[in-house]
Amino acid sequence: MSTFWDLPTKTIDLGDGNTVTVRKLTFADAQKVWGDKSLYEGPSETAATRYAAAVLRLAISAWAGPGFEGRGVSPEHIDALPMSIINQLGSEAVEFCMLSDDEKKASTADTK
């Protein structure tokens, strides 16, 4: 039986044998994301990417594959990932990490 502290994870396939595993965020993690000053600085066109990067810094729990060159997950290695990887993980990871199942259902419900 799982507890509230057993955070669900999701593995995202990046192709070429590379995967990234993300975990649901805790309330404290979400507070860190919402309090990240970088979210409120810069052009509005990059706001979604800055938000995804803030979530991914906390949510990435593992990765595997030749593209990671044997480097372990760390804040420094996450920050060193190419923007193409952050963009590829982007919305799928953020949706999984930040929305509850009920919120996901509501966001995709037909509002006619």
**pLDDT, averaged across the chain:** 87
What pLDDT, on the 0 to 100 scale, is given for residue 92? 87
Kindly state the tokens that stand for 54: 């803030």
So where are the chain's domains? 9-104
Residues 54-63, mean pLDDT to the nearest whole number:
94
Task: Write out pLDDT tens, residues 22-58.
Answer: 999 999 999 999 999 988 999 999 888 888 889 999 9
Confidence of residue 21 (pLDDT cuts 50, 70, 90): very high
| C-beta of residue 9 within 8 angstroms of C-beta of residue 23 | yes
| pTM of the predicted model as reported, rounded to 2 decimal places | 0.81
Residues 78-94, mean pLDDT to the nearest whole number:
90
Q: Is the pLDDT of residue 14 over 90?
A: yes
